[in-house]
Amino acid sequence: MSEQPASYRDVFAVREYRHLFAANLLSLIGDQLTAVALSFLVYARSGSPLLAALTFAGSYATWVIGGPLLSVFADRLPRRRVLLVGDLARAAIVLLMLIPGIGVWTLVAMAFVANLFRPPFQSARASLMPDILHGDRYTVANGLDNIVAEITQVAGFALGGLLVAAGSAQTVLAADAATFLLSAALIATGLRGSAAATRATAQPSGSWWAETTAGARVVFADRTLRSYLLLFWLSCLVYAAEGVAAPLAAEYGAGAWTGGLLLAAMPAGVAVGGVLLTRVCAPRLRQRIMLPLALLSCAVLLPIAARPPLAVVLTLFFVSGLAGSFSIPLNALFGRAVPAAYRARAFGVAMSGLCAVQGLAMFAAGAAAEWLRPTLVVGGAGLAATVAVGVVAASWPRVTEPVPVPVAA
């Protein structure tokens, strides 16, 4: 393994990645615009905060449902085709939302269906990455994608709000459909018609249920993959802090602006950490510091239980995100270790579990904050995450073991 990290120039020298990167960026922007525009549109027509929140939260719920179920298509069909269908279907559904007089509940249902195309799209894209990027390029590209995703999440919400304020939700939806169409054009012109992964996935392994659960069986039957996934999931217990951002700001006598800073601190740390890990650290160093960083990302929140000054809380949140960038090299290890024929389903399992862990952690934090002060809740989440990550680290595999291919019943 080379001790020199790949450069961004090395990564963008790969034509297929350039197209995948631009297409993914447009799709991410489209996802954010859809979430903002529809939440405004549904609230304007119904006056119901619950319906608006339900519309907004649909993108997360579809990962829990669609991750394991729909990622099968990304393993059974040519992945280029899955990407194209995902973009074109979302563009068509968003355009249908522009029909005048469409009912609120129909809008909510259409938003849910549109979001169902996101898991197979992202799983297919993640599965293609190890095939088109070799060596350290794959890890650096993962870091770049992570940085872009964090920035897009913040900028997309802000841009969507500005566009709605400047025009209308319908205008934003039209722009959203255009992003998906442009993404599809980039995929159609930039990716080969057939990829190696397509040949590896030509033979179905059994019933639909067997196909759906194959990803989970591959991951959890192998000690190495299981350890990778558990480390990723359990370290994300710290995102319980996002569930109490508003009451945490109120505990310090602050308002929405401070709550926004608290929510932005961790993603900002992840973005900075991603640059440092992929552009400064050598490949071997990344692997050596991965476990210490995972523990630090959780343990750094423990002092918040003592209610330090707000500036310290913001700093600790940022440091937690900075250390949390360990997930970038971890993701690369996971992607390379999964057999190509099951890669999309394995990524689907990883993402659906992540959404479930984050959602449950936020819900638990909110419930605990009904009786405990938010700083104590955040510190408690840091403690729980530190203990959980410590257990995984204690049994961390030293040697990569072969991944068994499950046999359908």
Write the pLDDT tens digit of every residue in 23-52. Answer: 888 878 777 777 767 767 776 777 765 566
pLDDT bracket for residue 199 (50, 70, 90): very low
User: Tens of pLDDT along 125-161?
Assistant: 888 888 888 878 888 887 788 778 777 766 665 566 6
pLDDT per position as a tens digit, 385-404? 999 999 998 888 764 434 44
Q: Which residue has the tokens 């799209």?
A: 121
Q: Tell the CATH superfamily of the 1-196 domain.
A: MFS general substrate transporter like domains (1.20.1250.20)
Average the pLDDT over 198-219 and give the result. Answer: 60
Comparing 192 with 224, which gets the higher pLDDT?
A: 224
**Nearest-angstrom CA–CA distance, 68 and 78:** 18
Residue bearing the bigger pLDDT, 34 or 332: 332
Q: What does the pLDDT average to over 66-79? A: 74
Mean pLDDT of 70-95: 85
The secondary structure element, H or E, covering residue 362 is helix 343-368
CA 314/CA 92 separation, integer angstroms: 42
Q: What is the structure's pLDDT at 185? A: 93
Across the chain, mean pLDDT equals: 79
Q: Report whether pLDDT(200) > 50.
A: no
* pLDDT at residue 294 in the model: 93
- pLDDT tens per residue, range 333-369: 887 787 777 777 778 778 778 877 877 887 788 788 8
Structure tokens at 180: 């998906």
| pTM (two decimals) | 0.71
409 has a pLDDT exceeding 50: no
The class level of CATH for 213-398 reads mainly alpha
Three-point CA angle 249, 238, 287, nearest 5°: 135
pLDDT at 406 over 70: no
Q: What percent of the chain has pLDDT over 70?
A: 80
Rounded CA-CA distance 369/259 in Å is 15
- Residue 299 pLDDT: 95
Where are the chain's structural domains? Answer: 1-196, 213-398
